[in-house]
Structure 1
């Protein structure tokens, strides 16, 4: 009998080409076969330039899809080139690389365009048991389908395109078990923010993190993607959830998914992809779902978060290692210890990103916004995670709810998640944001970011300050 094995190790073992050292377990160096990748215009140019300089081709062009998402404008009118000449040059070079290396590319006018980690699940291209590697740290998102996904650098992208393999170091394993029922008003975003707050921004460094427990199994596929997406914010290199019927239902019928007969043949193999009952994890973490309230960040790291009912902390009251970081964060954020979080005013509200730009996220926000209007002085924007999500939202009339409330209904892209396009904060502006990172300058030089769920962003936009969504939606 083989020894009990974790889901992560099962997938890695199935993709292991050969050993590169004599270590067994965590720290083992191996050559890993990668099933598929997604490329973007921001992290791939040097990789293609390297291929050209070496006279190499792409080994499996059909195992890659390219998506324009980082630098493009999300302005409602996409009639022509983007205003930024450098951004347009990146987009043009990206298109040329697709033509030259026979890789399918979705430019800003393609009906499937969007944020890469929203587009691939839209297509049904992410399947259980696969390995994905891509030039974006939030490739962990695909763990929601029972796939190993991880971010890589530009030189690794070149190596992957040329060989379909990567040198890889096996990780330690961590299991985060969340049991119980989530309270009304709390979402997957609040759950993962609570995990990050508990274990710290580096708490899962060097680990593949598996989410388990009744609260996790109860989540729809979109919520699972939110968990796995933000696991990287506590240092996890990989995040996973064992696939089940929820995953199979999310794949079925998608444009690039296997047909019904093939899915039925795959069902048994996929639903047997789970950690064995006696598998040993290097670290175990437990949370009670019933204790998780709507969360917001107060600082400049995703672990600097509290329930909305809390107050800005006093750095002197925190453990010694955290005091200096907290002092710097409060100085940057312009906050005073003891301030109730729900009284902090905002200038901007943003809903979107690969973390929370899916159809269910827009529905959650629209339920809060229906019949209400954005507070005076607040500029509110929503950028659907993909063009497919945008069309689906418009078919349901969600765009009309957003615009009636005073939100700008934008095109799809990374948008205000990061300051690589024209959707940026001005210095000193404070934003309620459904994105994944609140680092200094992440949304614009001097911009101040408070992370929260889409419904909480909607509540803040209406109130004009951070607010508890539970007071607005029974």
Structure 2
């Protein structure tokens, strides 16, 4: 029987049947951060249980950590309490932990791949919805809740029921300048925020095979915004090359047999999906959100839709509420609105390729006098590489605020980086929900290139707009 990659991984990890469709699923890697984990450790401690496989657990500090200075960590009582508890718990139970400012520290979904911990054909969980990121490596990766964190810590397994499978096939090649963030927003716009509910979405097609591994991570990261449980891409030679390099940096060599095993997890020809969606890559343009969920998007230089054009009363009602919150009107050109802030970073777009893209746009130019631009690397390793390549000097010369520490920062708005009400910001993060970056903040999510161009112009723009002005 021909199988999808998700089905192959699932079948390989079923420990036992629990009755009905429910099974006990083995988990290869468990990622931890300071939010939502103290209760789980309290639970196993009260039961007198040890962590089952500490060597298959990796911890980091990322969500509410400061990005300005390590000495700021104790300025917020809640922040310091959560970080201190995580450090104590990891030390007590023998779990590898990456402290703020250390080379291995950063956002969980950035550090795990770069440290060679995310391996094709495995399962991975974390108490964070954007765990879907790791599907880029042909991994079945999904977010879990706090009670499930306790279960995985105690047993290295998870009670689960099978997912449905959904294919999103992207034919042809993306146009020049269009990237994975644009593609992700276009897909969510097409299928909706609930289009992938209950499914593992597998991305297939020429356009997907052309993406770099970092771009694939961006695409899989956004999968949860379509309501899917996980996103996944079958492994190819790019996957193998990335893994060989990452593992090599840990002193682990990879045999040809292992490489073949990874590639064998790819979806079989003729495998049947429960759902299929087809998209032409040539029809995807530079995208940006206008509303308050990631499906409410338009081409960067397009117009805010008229509510009557939205398909269905629920979308029209949601659109009406979004317009009120965002301070927009039907038919508006987003480029007619000034912005106050730009954020580059997050587990979606905080990797070195994203930093290089931003530097390419900013080089020799200046951030608009009315705009505050914040750039935060997704990991300290990315930060180190930025400095090594001299990108930090480009950022600073342009007038951007390039922070010295890595973390989630303004993506989730849990630290001091959050903005005040009424601010309009272009962000490379993954969500534009009401209040996500601060109460009353109006967030437009876009690619790194659009964010950088908008920072320079002072309003939403593309890099092509800068070239036109220069001419």
Same fold flag (TM > 0.5): yes
Residues 78-97 of structure 1 aligned to structure 2 (within 5 Å): 78-79=70-71, 81-97=73-89
Query: Residue 109 of structure 2 aligns with which residue?
Result: 117
Aligned residue for 1:246, secondary structure, equals helix
Query: Residue 436 of structure 1 aligns with which residue?
Result: 430
Contact 1:252–1:263 (8 Å) recurs in 2: no
Q: Offset of 1:343 from its aligned partner?
A: 2.0
Aligned residue for 1:229, secondary structure, equals helix
State yes or no: 1:468 paired with 2:454. Answer: no
Query: Residue 276 of structure 2 aligns with which residue?
Result: 284
Contact 1:342–1:468 (8 Å) recurs in 2: no
Q: Distance in 2 between matches of 1:385 and 1:117?
A: 9
Q: In structure 1, which of residues 184, 196, 199 is the aligned counterpart of residue 188 of structure 2?
A: 196
Residues 70-149 of structure 1 aligned to structure 2 (within 5 Å): 70-75=63-68, 77-79=69-71, 81-149=73-141
**Which 5+ residue runs of structure 2 have no aligned equivalent?**
none
State yes or no: 1:245 paired with 2:237. Answer: yes
Query: Residue 25 of structure 1 aligns with which residue?
Result: none
With 259-268 and 360-369 compared, the bigger mean Cα shift is at 259-268
**Which 5+ residue runs of structure 1 have no aligned equivalent?**
23-27
Q: Distance in 2 between matches of 1:146 and 1:255?
A: 16
Contact 1:313–1:338 (8 Å) recurs in 2: yes
Aligned residue for 1:421, secondary structure, equals coil
Q: In structure 2, which of residues 255, 263, 280 is the aligned counterpart of residue 271 of structure 1?
A: 263
Q: Offset of 1:313 from its aligned partner?
A: 1.6
Q: In structure 2, which of residues 8, 11, 14 is the aligned counterpart of residue 13 of structure 1?
A: 11
Q: In structure 2, which of residues 358, 383, 400 is the aligned counterpart of residue 365 of structure 1?
A: 358
Q: Offset of 1:80 from its aligned partner?
A: 5.6
Q: Offset of 1:344 from its aligned partner?
A: 2.1
Aligned residue for 1:126, secondary structure, equals coil
Query: Residue 231 of structure 1 aligns with which residue?
Result: 223
Contact 1:348–1:379 (8 Å) recurs in 2: yes
TM-score under structure 2 length normalisation: 0.97
Q: Offset of 1:4 from its aligned partner?
A: 1.2
Q: Offset of 1:260 from its aligned partner?
A: 6.2
Instruction: Label 1:462 to 1:47 Cα distance change in 2 as closer, same or farther (>3 A).
Output: same
Q: Distance in 1 between matches of 2:249 and 2:166?
A: 30
Q: Offset of 1:257 from its aligned partner?
A: 6.2
Instruction: Label 1:473 to 1:268 Cα distance change in 2 as closer, same or farther (>3 A).
Output: farther
State yes or no: 1:420 paired with 2:418. Answer: no
Q: Distance in 2 between matches of 1:90 and 1:256?
A: 33
Aligned residue for 1:73, secondary structure, equals coil
State yes or no: 1:306 paired with 2:304. Answer: no
Q: In structure 2, which of residues 197, 212, 220 is the aligned counterpart of residue 205 of structure 1?
A: 197
Query: Residue 4 of structure 1 aligns with which residue?
Result: 2
Aligned residue for 2:254, secondary structure, equals helix
Query: Residue 169 of structure 2 aligns with which residue?
Result: 177
Q: Distance in 1 between matches of 2:57 and 2:9?
A: 20
Aligned residue for 1:403, secondary structure, equals helix
Contact 2:125–2:131 (8 Å) recurs in 1: yes
With 259-268 and 429-438 compared, the bigger mean Cα shift is at 259-268
State yes or no: 1:336 paired with 2:329. Answer: yes
Q: Distance in 2 between matches of 1:294 and 1:418?
A: 24
Aligned residue for 2:201, secondary structure, equals strand
Aligned residue for 1:150, secondary structure, equals strand
Aligned residue for 1:31, secondary structure, equals strand
Contact 1:123–1:256 (8 Å) recurs in 2: no
Q: Offset of 1:372 from its aligned partner?
A: 0.6
Q: Distance in 2 between matches of 1:445 and 1:464?
A: 22
Q: Distance in 1 between matches of 2:253 and 2:368?
A: 52
Q: Offset of 1:338 from its aligned partner?
A: 1.3
Contact 2:66–2:73 (8 Å) recurs in 1: no
- Aligned residues between the structures: 466
Query: Residue 65 of structure 1 aligns with which residue?
Result: 58
Aligned residue for 2:464, secondary structure, equals helix
Residues 392-403 of structure 1 aligned to structure 2 (within 5 Å): 392-403=385-396
Query: Residue 373 of structure 2 aligns with which residue?
Result: 380
Contact 2:449–2:462 (8 Å) recurs in 1: no
Residues 47-58 of structure 1 aligned to structure 2 (within 5 Å): 47-58=40-51
Q: Distance in 2 between matches of 1:62 and 1:418?
A: 29
With 437-446 and 269-278 compared, the bigger mean Cα shift is at 269-278
Q: Distance in 2 between matches of 1:231 and 1:263?
A: 32
Q: Distance in 2 between matches of 1:386 and 1:254?
A: 15
TM-score under structure 1 length normalisation: 0.96
Q: Offset of 1:278 from its aligned partner?
A: 1.2
